[in-house]
């Protein structure tokens, strides 16, 4: 082992923290860096791991020594007779994580700070690789997300436990441009390794994940004849049967539904369900036409012209909003089989980029309900192979712009099912990953139930405070780093790792598709010489036979 970098000074300002003093001549003791100190437990020497949370200078030259930028303050100090070697001295506040108990597979906090004068060492790479990550790289269920930020590239790999991610859910929180879709894509790549082969569905409201179609070509993910698959579903490629929509979905989807309309809808909905049950024994096979008929009948049955008006208004809303058939997501009969959307070794990206936000929410609610029901019924042995609710493996659903599906202070169609999955999904093998750039707008309960967190740069104070409230696993000091993180750097915490850590996310195997448009580049390209000439040529009416023809055709 190399030389110690500091010595313990005493207990820290908060429980489980201690202070140590170091000259840190090589500037190795960064915030978030890991250090160790020896302690004897049951007669055996253990290395207690601690993380540096604060760094405070306790010995500095007078400010005036730096008054002239061309003069080295060390020279001034030498001039006035200081020949010592320690012109800078730092006091570090470190948080005790504990010694690693191999049998337990976790850290045990010694619950006592180190004695004054205990030597403090920089934790070595091999030790950190062993104790920080729950899984070894290339082990089954390991997600090699990158490396420890405070160490040189690749020296301490960070491998998360993907089983924990799926069973206890995930949140990726970051400001725009901090790299959340990049990080999510790296996670997807890891989940599709031959050692994991996950079944993943991505809800992609902005079409940022289309480049995941390169996944089948990523040779890094091949193994034992296995090759991951990717399916990109444009809006309209995925079919949701209208019969699976609940009354609440319809009420939410239709614009400006009055109480009277809601009453008529409720009655008509029950009639349509009854018709469906009579026809095929299932309540969720009604068609839009059947619902329309039921609404019309409700209107006719009412003597009051006001009710007839409500029924008509409801019909008009239904026809203009819930479109079924070719090119539309909703369909009377068809629905995309779950085993097609979700299959081990495959990522399905459901693009919703041209879909109205309320429709998006209803689609996601219907899909989540279906997936959850399928897993519940399959797990409980209520369905067999061939049944539309048969889904014989755990699944992971990644939801982009999650604040639109579980908004804070509002109960929308997706909130209930999301909370249900977050609370009960573990039992049935439904994992959810929520991605949001506005945690402040995300429901607190939902955020707090995501037990693994990838936190990237967050500058907005409201969002920061929401993260503080919702993410208990990360200490206040580490969260203070959030605005200082740069692109691709993340705090990974929670169930998938042994302790929160700062991680540099590894480069993707697939191309990144989430980058914002480069407006100046596009403007310059638009005004480029050949483009201007081409546009002038095309817009000159007499030079184009087609245009010329139209001119004379107007008579």
Partner 1 sequence: MGLSLGKVVKADSHIHYLCQIYGRHEVKADSVPQPHHYALGNFVQIGLGGENGLIIGLIYDTMLLNPDFGNLGPRLSPEHELKIFAPDYLNERAVLVRIAAVGHVAPSGEIFQGVPRLAASSDAEVREMSPAQIREFHRGSDGGLHLAYLPVLLRQTDPLIYDMVQMMLGQLAGLLSEAQRAELDVISDELLWRTQIGPLGGTQ
Binding site for partner 1 (CB under 8 A): 57-65, 77, 80-87
At its nearest, how many Å lie between partner 1 and the CB of residue 121? 17
Residue 30 is given by DSSP the state -
Looking at beta carbons only, is 62 or 483 nearer to partner 1? 62
Provide φ and ψ at 405, rounded to 5°.
-110, -15
Looking at beta carbons only, is 84 or 545 nearer to partner 1? 84
At its nearest, how many Å lie between partner 1 and the CB of residue 83? 7
Residue pair 9/116 in contact by the 8 Å Cβ criterion: yes
Q: Which of 293, 310, 306 lies closest to 254 in space, CA to CA?
A: 310
Looking at beta carbons only, is 84 or 225 nearer to partner 1? 84
Residue pair 351/329 in contact by the 8 Å Cβ criterion: no
The residues, ordered by sequence, that sit 6+ positions from 24 with a Cβ below 8 Å of its Cβ are 5, 6, 88, 90
Number of residues that make up the chain: 555
Looking at beta carbons only, is 62 or 325 nearer to partner 1? 62
Looking at beta carbons only, is 75 or 476 nearer to partner 1? 75
Q: Mind giving me the DSSP string for 193-236?
A: STTT--EEEEEETT---GGGGGGGG-GGG-BTTB--EEEEE-TT
Q: How far is CA 340 from the centre of its chain?
A: 23
Residue 31, Ramachandran bin (φ over 0: left; ψ between -120 and 50: alpha; else beta): beta
At its nearest, how many Å lie between partner 1 and the CB of residue 7? 10
At its nearest, how many Å lie between partner 1 and the CB of residue 20? 15
At its nearest, how many Å lie between partner 1 and the CB of residue 17? 22
Looking at beta carbons only, is 54 or 124 nearer to partner 1? 54
Largest CA distance in the chain: 104
Looking at beta carbons only, is 7 or 260 nearer to partner 1? 7
At its nearest, how many Å lie between partner 1 and the CB of residue 66? 12
Residue 345 is given by DSSP the state T
At its nearest, how many Å lie between partner 1 and the CB of residue 45? 22
Structure tokens at 391: 């889904």
Looking at beta carbons only, is 88 or 445 nearer to partner 1? 88
Looking at beta carbons only, is 22 or 449 nearer to partner 1? 22
At its nearest, how many Å lie between partner 1 and the CB of residue 61? 6
The residues, ordered by sequence, that sit 6+ positions from 247 with a Cβ below 8 Å of its Cβ are 265, 266, 269
Cα torsion 49, 52, 56, 59: sign: positive
Other beta carbons within 10 angstroms of residue 356's beta carbon come to 13
At its nearest, how many Å lie between partner 1 and the CB of residue 63? 7
The residues, ordered by sequence, that sit 6+ positions from 126 with a Cβ below 8 Å of its Cβ are none
Q: How far apart are CA 159 and CA 121, in angstroms?
A: 24
Looking at beta carbons only, is 65 or 252 nearer to partner 1? 65
Burial class for 246, CB neighbours closer than 10 Å (0-12, 13-18, 19+): middle
Determine the Cα angle at 434 with ends 170 and 498, to 5°: 15
Q: How far apart are CA 401 and CA 172, in angstroms?
A: 10
């Amino acid at each position: 082992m190399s030389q110690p970098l500091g010595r313990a000074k005493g207990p820290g300002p908060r429980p489980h923290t201690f202070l140590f003093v170091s000259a840190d001549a090589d500037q190795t003791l960064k915030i978030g860096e890991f250090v160790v100190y020896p302690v004897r437990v049951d007669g055996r020497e253990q290395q207690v791991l601690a993380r540096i949370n604060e760094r405070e200078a306790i010995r500095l030259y007078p400010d005036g020594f730096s008054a002239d930028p061309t003069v080295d303050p060390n020279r001034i100090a030498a001039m006035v007779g200081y020949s010592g070697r320690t012109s800078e001295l730092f006091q570090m506040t470190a948080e005790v994580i504990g010694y690693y108990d191999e049998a337990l597979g976790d850290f045990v906090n010694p619950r006592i700070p180190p004695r004054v004068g205990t030597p403090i060492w920089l934790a070595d790479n091999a030790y950190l690789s062993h104790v920080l990550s729950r899984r070894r790289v290339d082990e089954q269920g390991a997600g090699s997300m990158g490396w420890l930020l405070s160490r040189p590239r690749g020296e301490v790999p960070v491998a998360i436990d993907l089983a924990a991610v799926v069973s206890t859910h995930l949140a990726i929180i970051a400001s725009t441009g901090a790299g959340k879709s990049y990080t999510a894509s790296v996670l997807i790549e890891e989940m599709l390794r031959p050692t994991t082969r996950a079944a993943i569905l991505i809800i992609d409201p902005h079409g940022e994940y289309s480049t995941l179609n390169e996944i089948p070509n990523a040779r890094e993910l091949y193994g034992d004849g296995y090759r991951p698959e990717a399916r990109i579903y444009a809006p309209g490629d995925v079919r949701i049967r209208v019969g699976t929509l609940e009354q609440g979905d319809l009420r939410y989807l239709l614009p400006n539904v009055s109480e009277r309309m809601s009453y008529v809808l409720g009655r008509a909905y029950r009639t349509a369900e009854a018709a469906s049950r009579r026809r095929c024994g299932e309540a969720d096979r009604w068609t839009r036409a059947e619902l329309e008929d039921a609404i019309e009948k409700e209107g006719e049955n009412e003597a009051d012209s006001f009710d007839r008006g409500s029924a008509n208004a409801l019909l008009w809303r239904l026809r203009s909003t819930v479109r079924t058939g070719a090119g539309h997501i909703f369909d009377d009969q068809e629905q995309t089989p779950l085993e097609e959307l979700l299959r081990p070794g495959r990522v399905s990206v459901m693009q919703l980029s041209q879909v109205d936000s309320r429709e998006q929410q209803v689609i996601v609610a219907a899909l989540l309900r279906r997936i959850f029901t399928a897993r519940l019924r399959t797990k409980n042995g209520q369905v067999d192979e061939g049944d539309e609710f048969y889904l014989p493996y755990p699944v992971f659903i990644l939801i982009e712009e999650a604040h639109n599906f579980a908004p804070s202070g509002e109960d929308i169609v997706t909130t209930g099912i999301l909370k249900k999955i977050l609370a009960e999904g573990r039992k049935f093998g439904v994992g959810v990953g929520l991605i949001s750039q506005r945690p402040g707008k995300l429901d607190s309960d939902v955020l707090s139930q995501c037990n693994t967190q990838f936190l990237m740069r967050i500058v907005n104070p409201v969002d920061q405070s929401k993260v503080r409230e919702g993410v208990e696993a990360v200490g206040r000091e580490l969260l203070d780093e959030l605005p200082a993180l740069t692109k691709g750097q993340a705090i990974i915490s929670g169930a998938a790792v042994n302790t929160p850590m700062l991680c540099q996310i590894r480069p993707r195997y697939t191309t990144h598709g989430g980058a914002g448009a480069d407006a100046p580049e596009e403007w310059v390209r638009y005004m480029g010489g050949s483009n201007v000439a081409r546009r002038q040529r095309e817009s000159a009416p007499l030079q184009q036979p087609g245009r010329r023809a139209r001119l004379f055709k107007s008579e």
